[in-house]
C-alpha cells in the first residue's frame, strides 16, 4: 500500500474520488491574492471566513489554505498587511465546521517543531482529522528578518525544513526519542496525544525550485506549483510523480492555484478583470513584490515583466479562469487533463462570488465527470 493509499482508505477529503479537487487560498489575509484597490465585501475576519467555510461546505469544496504573512507589501493597499495567524485560524474554524479540510501555513523558521507538532495535533483532534500543515521556508526577507535572524540561503532553508519535518513526524509517531541534526537537537522527545488522523496530518509545500521539489517529493503528500501554461503544467506533474517514486518510492499529489472571474457573459467577466486589475490594481505593491522576487533584475524581457506584474495583480500569478461558467469549466477540464489533481481558487470577493460558483460552475464540473454529485459525496463521507 502506498503512502497516499493510506490517506485514501482513511477517507481523507484531499484524496477523495473527485477527479479534480478545489479549495480556496488566502481568505485569512487582506486582499487575499488580488493586489487591487477594487471595492469588495470580503474582509479577513473570522466572521467572514466562517461564512466562506459554510458556503464551501454546502458546495462540496475540499479545503481552505491560508497565507502565512507577518507584514504587508506596502502600496496604498499595504497588500496582505492584515492577516490572521494560521494555526489559531484553523483551530477556530475546525470547531465551527464539519467537512472542510483545513491547513495551517507554517513558516518553519518561525516556530519550533515541538510547538508546531503539539498545536497541529490539537487542531487535528478538534477537527476530527481535517487538518494539515503547509510548510513554507520563507522568501520575503524583510518579513523573516523581523524575527531578528538573517535569511538563510535558499537550499539551506530546505535542509532546515527537512529536519523540522523529521522532528514533527517523530513527535507524532514515537515516544521518548533523541534527535541530533545540524539545526535541531531533541533530548528525550515526547508528545501526547498522538494525531487523530492515521498515519498523521497531511504535509504539503509549494517549493518549485529543484531543491524545493526534492523536498516535496521526499517529505510531502502534495506539491503546489504555478502553472504558466498547460504543457509546462503537464511536465511539472510528470516530473514530480517520477521524482517522488524513483527517488523515494512515494506517491505525491499535485495542486495549482487559479484566480477566477466567472460571469454570465464573457464580456462581463473581461470587463470586471480590466476593472480590478488594470484600473484598480495596486501597482506600487506589485512592484515591491517584484523587487523581492528579483524580477526587475534585468534577467527578463520587458514583455515578461509586464505580464508578470499583471498576473500578480490578478491573483498572485495563478492560472486564469476568466469567462462564463461554461468557459471556466472547459479551462478546468484542460487543467485536469494535464494530470493535476486540483486547484485552489482565489477571488476578489469570496463572499459574493462563491454562491455563484456553487450554483453555476459546480453542476458543470459534475457533468464533465470531474466531480461526484454532492449527494454521492455525502454518502461516501
pLDDT digits (tens, 9 = 90+) for 85-99: 999 999 999 999 999
Map residue 215 onto helix, strand or coil.
Answer: helix
- Provide the pLDDT for residue 302: 62
Contacts for 296 with CB less than 8 Å, ≥ 6 apart: 287, 290, 305
Burial of 269 (0-12, 13-18, 19+ CB in 10 A): buried
Residue 120 lies in a domain: yes
Domain enclosing residue 166, as ranges:
3-256+332-347
H or E segment and range at residue 125: helix 113-127
CATH of the domain at 208: 3.20.20.30
What is the mean predicted confidence (pLDDT) over 310-336?
96
H or E segment and range at residue 186: strand 185-189
Contact in structure between 237 and 254 (CB atoms under 8 Å): yes
Give the residue with greater pLDDT, 317 vs 91.
Answer: 91
Residue 364 lies in a domain: no
Is the predicted pLDDT of residue 131 greater than 80, yes or no? yes
> Mean pLDDT of all residues in the chain?
94
Residue 312 lies in a domain: no
Its sign, for the CA torsion 221, 102, 5, 163, is positive
Residue 241 lies in a domain: yes
Q: Name all contacts of 302-311 with Cβ < 8 Å and 24+ positions apart.
A: 309/283, 310/277, 310/278, 310/281
- Provide the pLDDT for residue 295: 59
- Provide the pLDDT for residue 375: 66
Is the predicted pLDDT of residue 297 greater than 50, yes or no? no
Number of domains within the chain? 1
Residue 357 lies in a domain: no
Give the residue with greater pLDDT, 195 vs 138.
Answer: 195
Residue 196 lies in a domain: yes
What's the pTM? 0.94
Residues paired with residue 179 on neighbouring β-strands, in sequence order: 186
Amino acid at each position: 500500500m502506498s503512502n497516499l493509499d493510506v490517506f485514501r482508505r482513511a477517507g481523507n477529503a484531499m484524496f477523495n474520488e473527485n477527479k479534480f479537487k478545489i479549495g480556496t487560498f488566502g481568505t485569512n489575509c487582506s486582499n487575499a491574492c488580488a493586489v487591487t484597490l477594487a471595492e469588495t465585501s470580503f474582509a479577513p475576519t473570522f466572521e467572514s471566513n466562517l461564512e466562506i467555510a459554510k458556503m464551501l461546505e454546502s458546495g462540496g469544496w475540499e479545503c481552505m489554505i491560508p497565507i502565512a504573512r507577518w507584514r504587508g507589501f506596502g502600496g496604498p493597499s499595504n497588500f496582505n498587511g492584515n492577516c490572521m495567524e494560521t494555526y489559531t485560524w484553523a483551530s477556530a474554524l475546525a470547531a465551527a465546521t464539519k467537512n472542510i479540510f483545513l491547513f495551517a501555513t507554517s513558516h518553519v523558521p518561525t516556530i519550533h517543531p515541538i510547538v508546531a507538532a503539539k498545536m497541529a495535533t490539537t487542531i487535528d483532534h478538534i477537527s476530527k482529522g481535517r487538518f494539515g500543515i503547509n510548510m513554507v521556508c520563507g522568501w520575503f526577507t524583510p518579513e523573516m528578518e523581523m524575527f531578528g535572524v538573517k535569511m538563510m540561503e535558499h537550499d539551506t532553508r530546505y535542509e532546515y525544513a527537512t529536519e523540522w519535518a523529521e522532528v514533527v513526524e517523530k513527535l507524532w509517531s514515537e515516544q521518548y526519542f533523541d534527535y541530533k541534526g545540524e539545526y535541531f537537537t531533541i533530548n528525550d522527545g515526547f508528545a501526547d496525544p498522538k494525531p487523530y488522523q492515521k498515519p498523521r496530518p497531511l504535509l504539503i509545500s509549494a517549493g518549485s525550485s529543484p531543491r524545493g521539489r526534492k523536498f516535496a517529493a521526499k517529505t510531502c503528500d502534495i506539491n503546489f506549483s504555478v502553472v504558466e501554461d498547460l504543457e509546462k503544467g503537464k511536465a511539472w506533474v510528470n516530473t514530480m510523480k517520477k521524482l517522488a517514486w524513483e527517488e523515494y518510492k512515494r506517491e505525491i499529489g499535485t495542486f495549482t492555484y487559479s484566480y477566477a472571474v466567472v460571469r454570465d457573459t464573457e464580456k462581463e467577466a473581461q470587463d470586471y478583470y480590466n476593472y480590478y486589475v488594470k484600473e484598480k490594481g495596486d501597482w506600487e505593491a506589485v512592484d515591491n513584490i517584484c523587487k523581492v522576487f528579483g524580477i526587475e533584475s534585468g534577467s527578463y524581457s520587458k514583455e515578461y515583466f509586464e505580464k508578470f506584474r499583471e498576473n500578480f495583480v490578478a491573483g498572485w500569478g495563478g492560472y486564469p479562469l476568466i469567462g462564463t461558467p461554461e468557459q471556466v469549466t472547459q479551462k478546468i477540464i484542460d487543467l485536469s487533463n494535464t494530470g493535476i489533481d486540483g486547484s485552489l481558487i482565489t477571488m476578489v470577493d469570496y463572499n459574493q462570488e462563491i454562491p455563484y460558483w456553487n450554483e453555476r460552475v459546480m453542476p458543470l464540473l459534475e457533468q464533465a465527470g470531474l466531480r461526484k454529485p454532492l449527494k454521492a459525496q455525502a454518502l461516501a463521507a
